[in-house]
Amino acid sequence: MNWLAPFYDVWCRAIGLGRRFRSKTIGLASLREGEAVLEVGCGTGVLTRLAAEAVGPEGSAVGIDPAIRMIAVARKNAFEMGSRAMFRVAAIEDLPFADNSFDAAFASAMIHHLPPEVKLAGLREVYRVLKPGGRLVVADLDRPGNPLWWLILWPAWFMHTVRGNLEGRLPQYLREAGYEPVTSCGQWGGVIGFWLAQKPLS
Angle at which helices 68-81 and 46-55 pack, to 10 degrees? 40
Question: What is the pTM assigned to this prediction?
Answer: 0.88
d(CA 70, CA 88): 10
Number of domains in the chain: 1
pLDDT of residue 1: 57
3-state DSSP of 99-110 = CCCEEEEEEECC
d(CA 95, CA 86): 15
pLDDT in tens, 89-119: 999 999 999 999 999 999 999 999 999 999 9
Strand, coil or helix: what is 164?
A: helix
Q: Which is more confident, 4 or 155?
A: 155
d(CA 39, CA 51): 9
| Domain with 81 in it | 2-198
Is 190 a residue whose pLDDT tops 60?
yes
Nearest CA to 65 among 81, 50, 47?
Answer: 47
Beta-carbon contacts of residue 98 (< 8 Å; ≥ 6 apart):
129
